[in-house]
Amino acid sequence: MRPIQKVEVIANVASGSVDDDAPEQLAKIFADHGVAANVCAPETHELTDCLRRAVDAGPDLLVVLAGDGTARAAAELCGPDGPMIAPLPGGTMNMLPHAIYGVRPWQDALSIALAQGEERPIGGGEVEGHRFMVAAILGSPALWAPAREAARFGRRRLAWTRARRALRQAFTGRLRYALDAGPREKAEALIFMCPTTSRALADEEQVLEAAALDVSGVADVVRLGVNTLVRDWRDDPAVASRRCRLARIWSSQGIPAVLDGESVRLKASTEVRYTPTVARVLTIPKDV
């Protein structure tokens, strides 16, 4: 790996677990390692523009202290040939940072990465030009994401309105799908997990884990929720989990989806495929 000399940093202080003094902490850690870093702490509405400017600056490394959705956006902008990225845990779930750096404070993850970091390509999924490195949810469960976001920002009335809308639309439209060269099947929802975060896949596997959820009512959802808490959700009878490199999905209307926590609307006929290099990531040795 070539030396890291120029660094752009995005700290989303409006994210789930980023303190107001994070920019100062970031600047100190980089200074302690003798690395020049430009730290940006944008407002929520400025986040996308700030990311674009950071990528356009052509750094050796783009550090993102935010949630999985912001890390996904950064990886999508950088691509396999752009700046290397370091997604630090600054969100609510932090599935991608925890998979890369382990469950540790972002300050420790960054310090170790700067001292012992290794470059590694990270694979994931792609759908309609969008990339994801954690998971994609397609179908009615994705309708709950806007309600969750409204609640996260304290907009209770809007969250309630969106939750009621999601509940009305639940179980009203099923997806038809085919995995690789397999037959057409039906499901209420599909979940695609990437190798980095799926417990059923090894990091080196060049596939996605595809889970079809065949739920038909609230009772099935409750049982699935309980099984998620007490055992592996893959053991629930409503879940069929397999590996695939390409999935074709059809619906009677546009398909709601959540990619690494971010809501998108897909076409009524779409494809999800595995891509071997979504971005290049600064990782740490596995034995640290």
CATH number at residue 48: 3.40.50.10330
Is it the case that residue 227 has pLDDT exceeding 50?
Answer: no
93-118: pLDDT as tens digits: 888 899 899 999 999 999 999 999 99
Report the alpha-carbon distance of residue 233 to residue 115 in Å, rounded.
Answer: 38
With a pLDDT cut of 70, the percent of the chain lying above it is 80
Of 122, 142, 162, which closes a domain? Answer: 122
Whole-angstrom CA distances from 197 to 84, 99, 157, 194, 224 are: 19, 6, 34, 6, 20
Q: Are 129 and 140 in contact (CB under 8 A)?
A: no
The structure's pTM equals 0.80
Which of these ranges, 122-126, 141-145, 196-200, has the smallest mean pLDDT?
Answer: 141-145
Which of these ranges, 52-56, 138-142, 193-197, has the smallest mean pLDDT?
Answer: 138-142
Enter the tokens of residue 95.
Answer: 């599935």
Number of domains in the chain: 2
Are 168 and 37 within one domain? no
> Does residue 257 sit in helix, strand or coil?
strand
Which residues have CB under 8 Å from 24's CB, separation 6+? none
CATH number reported for the structural domain that contains residue 171 in this entry: 2.60.200.40
Is it the case that residue 256 has pLDDT exceeding 90?
Answer: no
Name the residue range of residue 141's domain. Answer: 130-276
State residue 205's pLDDT score: 86
Candidates 241, 266, 245; CA nearest to 190 is: 241
State residue 38's pLDDT score: 94
Residue 202 within a domain:
yes
Q: Which residue has the higher pLDDT, 65 or 167?
A: 65
Q: For residue 219, name the pLDDT band (cuts at 50, 70, 90).
A: very low
Residue 285 within a domain:
no
